[in-house]
Structure 1
Amino acid sequence: MDLNTVTEVVSPAGPGQWRPGDAWLGGGTALFAEPRPHLSRLLDLTTAGWPALTMRADGLEIAATCTIAELAASGHDIVERCCHAFLASFKIWNVATVGGNLCAALPAGPMIALGAALDGKCLILGPEGERREVAVSEFVTGEATTVLRDGELLRSVHLPKLPLLSPTAYRQASLHAHGRSGVLVIGRRAGDGLAITVTAATRRPYVLRFPEMPEPEVVQIAVTERIPEEAYVRDVHGLPAWRRHLTRLYAEEVRRELAG
Structure 2
Amino acid sequence: MDLNTVLEVSDARRREPWRPGDAWLGGGTYLFSEPQPHLRRLVDLSRMGWEPVVHRQDGALEIAATCTIAQLSRCGRTLAAEAAALFEQCCRAFLASFKIWNMATVGGNLCNGLPAGPMISLTAALDGECLLRSQGGTSRRVAVADFITGAGRKDLGEGELLRSVTLPARALRCRTAFRQASLYGLGRSGALVIGTLDPLDGSLAVTITAATTRPFRLWFPLPPDGPGLRSAIEAAVGDDEWFDDIHGLPAWRRHMTFRLAEEIRRELTKESVR
Cα distance, 1:193 vs. partner?
1.5
Q: Does 1:131 align with 2:114?
A: no
Provide the aligned length of Structure 1 versus Structure 2: 260
- How much identity, in percent, do the aligned residues show? 57
State the partner residue of 1:101: 109
Q: How does 1:155-234 map onto structure 2 within 5 Å?
A: 155-190=163-198, 191-234=201-244
Distance 2:51 2:126 in 1: 21
Instruction: Tell me: CA distance 1:14–1:131, structure 2 relative to 1, closer, same or farther (3 Å).
Output: farther
Normalization by structure 1: what TM-score?
0.97
State the partner residue of 2:68: 67
Cα distance, 1:162 vs. partner?
1.1
Cα distance, 1:21 vs. partner?
1.1
Instruction: Tell me: CA distance 1:14–1:50, structure 2 relative to 1, closer, same or farther (3 Å).
Output: farther
Cα distance, 1:173 vs. partner?
0.7
Q: Which amino acid aligns with 2:249?
A: L
Q: Which runs of 5+ in 2 are unaligned?
A: 78-83
Q: Which amino acid aligns with 2:44?
A: D
1:147 pairs with one of 134, 140, 155: 155
Q: How does 1:234-249 map onto structure 2 within 5 Å?
A: 234-249=244-259
Cα distance, 1:197 vs. partner?
0.1
Q: Deviations over 1:147-176 (max 9, x none)?
A: 001010100000001101210000001111
State the partner residue of 1:28: 28
Distance 2:69 2:169 in 1: 20
Normalization by structure 2: what TM-score?
0.93
Distance 1:192 1:222 in 2: 18
Q: Which runs of 5+ in 1 are unaligned?
A: none
Q: How does 1:35-54 map onto structure 2 within 5 Å?
A: 35-54=35-54
Structure 1 stretches of 4+ with a deviation exceeding 6 A read: none
SS at match of 2:114: coil
Cα distance, 1:128 vs. partner?
1.3
Which piece of structure 1 moves more, 242-251 or 12-21? 12-21
CA contact (8 A) 1:15 1:128 kept: no
SS at match of 1:73: helix
Cα distance, 1:16 vs. partner?
5.0
